[in-house]
Structure 1
Amino acid sequence: MRPTKADAALKAGEKPEGLRLSAVEIIAGALSLVWLAAAALFFLILPTETEGGGFDTMGFVMTLLAVFLPIAVIWVAAIAMRSARIVREESRRLQAAIDAMRQTYVADRQARGAGGMDPTVEKKLNEIAKAAQKTETALATFTSARPAQAATRLAPAPKPEPGDDQPTLALGTSAEDMTPPIQRSDLVRALNFPDTQDDEVGFAALRRALKDHSARQLIQASQDVLTLLSQDGIYMDDLRPDRARPEFWRRFARGERGKAVAALGGVRDRSSLALTAGRMREDTIFRDAAHHFLRKFDQMLESFEPEASDEDIAALAETRTARAFMLLGRVTGAFD
């Protein structure tokens, strides 16, 4: 295999075997020898006599310190200078290796861009596309067709005359208008989506929510965003955002922005934030889907909050849809 620039840089940066003496060690050794010679000359030529002829222990200890302490200081300084030199050399070798690896990586990316996509990446993208298609098919099973809106609004039905026992039905009433409002518990359960294909409770709540026009729009927008995020390996189950008190959700629903609702941006996963921010800048389809989802969630929260209890809002905040809202809201600066 032909060696790359990174391999050459790493080999050049390898530490050679064997002990190498630098100028610092040589100077330290020379100074030590000079000091020992001077000390020996001092004690041999100019001996000192102790009074009484006894052995002076304190004097002997002080003599040893006077002889060997300067040598110890010399070698401590030499070792410190050697360590600093080694650190500088290692830093230079590491920087050279990183630069070479970066150049190799850029060249490899350019070559792949010119010659085609990596087969492993292409295979992974195909698997993600198939999974997304299966999810859309499963969701479409429970999605009813949206009725076409009438081109003109029909006139209201005339009031029944007195004595007419048969009631008159208003014309232009669609099935959606006659559908009772969705329960808050069903909406919260539907926004979390079924956990598995055997989650009968989740699918039942999803079917009931899809009968509501506003809820269906939000669910479809959420499903689109979650599918796009999964293409980058971002899954809501992996996020663990900081929990915000229900009062912050109420403030946001009532139109407050800025620091008053900053607690809603509790997603701290740096990789997910970076990938989402990059996707928002580069992918117009993802950006449009994200803004559409944020608008629909904001509209839902505005109508959901007045009659919802703190427990309902706390349950809503734990759904996958709410986590996607917190992630996208922080990336777009909705909580700043």
Structure 2
Amino acid sequence: MGRPADRLKEKISVLGAQTPSAPAPAEPSGRGPGRVEWIALGLTLLWLAMVAGFWFFAPGVASTASLFNTVSLLVGMALPIAMIWIAAVTARASREMRAEAAALKQSVEAMRMAWLNQQALRSDQNVEKKLEEIAAVTRQAETTIATFASRRDAQASQPSADRKAALVAPPPARSDDSEPMLALGTPAEELRSPISVADFVRALNFPDSPDDADGFRALRRALEDRATAKLLRSAQDVLNLLAQDGIYMDDLKPDRARPELWRRFAQGERGREIASLGGIRDRSSLALTAGRMRGDTIFRDAAHHFLRQFDRTFAEFEKNASDQEIAEMAETRTARAFMLLGRVTGSFD
């Protein structure tokens, strides 16, 4: 059986051979006589020459040599030679141990680098898989919204006369080429009944599930209104981008603000008291959103566009809504996204 260092080196070499990215460790040097052995041999020959000179040229040494003296002389001659070669063997063993330690260190380093490369490859694969899943969900959501926008519910398009409008009446008709005009010069959009408060609030929350018929109906009604459609599309873009970072509005539990603060905000007031509208306290969501605002130009542009659309639409909604209706609007997913982005961008200050 070999030494423990040899067995460990063999195991690491086998593992390194099984790993494609691990280079083979270098063989330890020290095979054959080295400089230490040659120095020891030279010192031995020098010592023997000195002893021979002392034996043959020293007067009276050979004539007075007895058995005891001869043994003493032989021990005195052999002891330095033994010490020289013990030192040489020790130096050679030390050199071999250093070489083996260097080889083992190189093998371990190669194994570590191979392991890190494998972990990085697995991490890249996991990130790509998650990005593909997010892209698939985003495409599905966009297709669903496009389907809802393209379908027309004839029964839902005829609200009752006593339903309260969410937004104020639009300005007088303009005579331009961008709107389809009727025979008397009235745009076709003017003949549509305004969206009700209930449908407006329900649309801002988006459908809860594929079976949410009321949510889909309200969403189709809202998309028929130009101002509301702009807000909903900008909100959809922002919600999809936030979902890429794992931020979902259903997970946020904002602090409720009084309806009078929302009214003061709609009328243009800003400041410390109005800042309580940004009731999102989730630190991770705030940090992720702030980092995305700094580093992602597309997200920053989409967020600012959404904030402008919400500010403009809410200013019109506040004129017709009661305090209870404003409170219900503040609980929607669109309003939570506005609170989150408004606090990150400082829109309430």
Q: Give the alignment's TM-score, normalised by structure 2.
A: 0.57
Q: Calculate the aligned-residue CA RMSD, in Å.
A: 2.7
Residue 284 (structure 1) aligned with residue 275 (structure 2): no
Matches within 5 A, 1:223-234: 223-234=236-247
For the 8 Å contact 1:241–1:323, the answer to whether it is kept is: yes
Secondary structure of residue in 2 paired with 1:240: coil
Q: Give the alignment's TM-score, normalised by structure 1.
A: 0.59
For the 8 Å contact 1:144–1:210, the answer to whether it is kept is: no
**How far apart, in 1, do the equivalents of 2:122 and 2:296 lie?**
20
Secondary structure of residue in 2 paired with 1:135: helix
**How far apart, in 2, do the equivalents of 1:206 and 1:251 lie?**
28
| Deviation (angstroms), 1:263 | 1.1
Secondary structure of residue in 2 paired with 1:306: helix
| Deviation (angstroms), 1:150 | 8.3
Secondary structure of residue in 2 paired with 1:196: coil
Instruction: Figure out how many residues of one structure are paired with residues of the other and give that number.
Output: 213
Identity %: 62
When residues 175 and 116 of structure 1 are mapped into structure 2, their CA distance, relative to the original with a 3 A threshold, is: farther
| Deviation (angstroms), 1:177 | 2.1
Aligned counterpart, 2:129: 123
| Deviation (angstroms), 1:174 | 3.1
Runs of 4+ deviating beyond 4 Å: 149-154
**How far apart, in 1, do the equivalents of 2:281 and 2:190 lie?**
42
Larger Rg: 2
Q: How far does the alpha carbon of each residue in 1:291-321 deviate from its partner, in whole angstroms, 9 at most, with x for none?
A: 0000000011100001110010000000000
Aligned counterpart, 1:299: 312
Aligned counterpart, 2:147: 141
When residues 228 and 150 of structure 1 are mapped into structure 2, their CA distance, relative to the original with a 3 A threshold, is: farther
When residues 119 and 150 of structure 1 are mapped into structure 2, their CA distance, relative to the original with a 3 A threshold, is: farther
For the 8 Å contact 1:222–1:321, the answer to whether it is kept is: yes
Structure 2 residue runs without a partner (length 5+): 1-11, 16-111, 152-173
**How far apart, in 2, do the equivalents of 1:238 and 1:225 lie?**
16
Q: How far does the alpha carbon of each residue in 1:237-284 deviate from its partner, in whole angstroms, 9 at most, with x for none?
A: 000010111011001100001113111011000000000000000100
Q: How far does the alpha carbon of each residue in 1:26-52 deviate from its partner, in whole angstroms, 9 at most, with x for none?
A: xxxxxxxxxxxxxxxxxxxxxxxxxxx
**How far apart, in 2, do the equivalents of 1:124 and 1:216 lie?**
30
| Deviation (angstroms), 1:175 | 2.5
Residue 170 (structure 1) aligned with residue 184 (structure 2): yes
Matching residue's letter, 1:122: E
| Deviation (angstroms), 1:116 | 10
| Deviation (angstroms), 1:152 | 4.8
Secondary structure of residue in 2 paired with 1:142: helix
Matches within 5 A, 1:1-336: 118-144=124-150, 152=177, 169-171=183-185, 173-336=186-349
Structure 1 residue runs without a partner (length 5+): 3-103, 157-167
| Deviation (angstroms), 1:153 | 8.2
For the 8 Å contact 1:251–1:260, the answer to whether it is kept is: no
Q: How far does the alpha carbon of each residue in 1:71-114 deviate from its partner, in whole angstroms, 9 at most, with x for none?
A: xxxxxxxxxxxxxxxxxxxxxxxxxxxxxxxxx9xxx79x95xx
